[in-house]
Amino acid sequence: MTKGYVAGLGVITAAIFAAMSLASPGFLTFDNLNSMGFQFPEFGTLALAVLPTMISGGIDLSVVSTANLASIVAATIMHAENGPAWAAVPCALLIGAACGCLNGSLVAFLELPPILATLGTMQLFSGIAIVMTHGASVTGLPDWFTDFGITSLFGWIPLPTVIFALVALATGLLLTFSELGVRSRLLGANPVGARFAGIPVRAVTVKIYMLSGVVSSLAGLIVLARVNSANADYGSSYLLLVILINVLAGVSVTGGFGSTSGVVLAVIALQLISSGLNFLSVSNFARDVLFGALLVLAMAGRAAVGFGVIRMPRALWRMRKI
């Protein structure tokens, strides 16, 4: 079922690309495609951060705040005079892991609902970031770091796209072939059965949320390199987008299944739509309405299929014959 859904999503993505190319003459230009290659890795990596938690039956609403906090810590270290600039990236990843560990502990040990636990930590991490920066942006980063956000390999492959591809590949391999990935899927599909099967549910939950935090911090570093500054408010509109991406990718909202390839295709599809709407001079407000409507429709469609609403006419027809 998942493979068929991903294949269908691939066809839809190709159709969107063809439609936008025909509707906007400038859509297929090198400058536009290159620009998209620098834009989508930010929210695409955040979508990959949410994926493991949704597969395990939870969700992480703090990914954007975690990314901002990690980028602020990295920027502060790099901005410090005579500071160990080389430690900025490892420290950012450690911050992401610590944020994820806190989220996982709240869910695993205090048994808080994931949506409420991460909603609270979202505000907590955002508040810490604001206190650290006093609401201002941290700028003045070294060239060796910001070059990652504006460099293209071989002159045409944006480096952020390469980083996103590597993160997607690593996440996919981890969730598919590792013991943690298999256990997280079992936990999402049947939490009670996972406990009776001897799976260490608490340890798996903490590790899954730590993975989410680390991937979120990578997204923060990508944003930091591209915009050459860190702020507690960056990416405030990304939360709805990353949830929409996972829903469109076929990730179960109740846990158990989902694929990295589906997330990648959903990321590309939404970036194509967003870029095409720019060429069509559609405002950002209308775009938010569109994405919100897509999320509602996707959730409603999944619910209709799950409850058999779509299959009901055929069932009634068979009953009439009997």
- 12-35, pLDDT tens digit by residue? 889 888 888 888 777 888 888 888
Tokens (6 digits) for 261: 């390839």
Instruction: Kindly report, residue by residue over 83-126, the tens digit of the pLDDT.
Output: 687 899 999 999 999 999 999 999 999 999 999 999 999 999 99
Which among 192, 249, 222 has a CA at the least distance from the CA of 71?
222
Amino acid at 26: G
What distance in Å separates the CA atoms of residue 70 and residue 184, rounded to the nearest whole number? 25
Which is more confidently placed, 286 or 315? Answer: 286
Which among 257, 222, 179 has a CA at the least distance from the CA of 68?
222
Beta strands in the chain (DSSP E): 152-153, 157-158
Question: How confident is the model over 149-156, as a mean pLDDT?
Answer: 84
What's domain 2-280's superfamily in CATH? ABC transporter involved in vitamin B12 uptake, BtuC (1.10.3470.10)
**pTM for this entry:** 0.90
Residue 134 contacts by C-beta under 8 Å, 6 or more apart in sequence? none
Which is more confidently placed, 310 or 211? Answer: 211
Instruction: Kindly report, residue by residue over 31-47, the tens digit of the pLDDT.
Output: 888 889 999 999 999 99
Tokens (6 digits) for 7: 């294949």
The angle, 0 to 180 degrees and rounded to 10, between the axes of the packed helices 143-150 and 159-177 is 80
Confidence of residue 79 (pLDDT cuts 50, 70, 90): confident
Tokens (6 digits) for 194: 């996972």
Question: How confident is the model over 158-182, as a mean pLDDT?
Answer: 94
Say whether pLDDT at 269 is over 80.
Answer: yes
Alpha carbon of residue 170 to chain centroid: 14
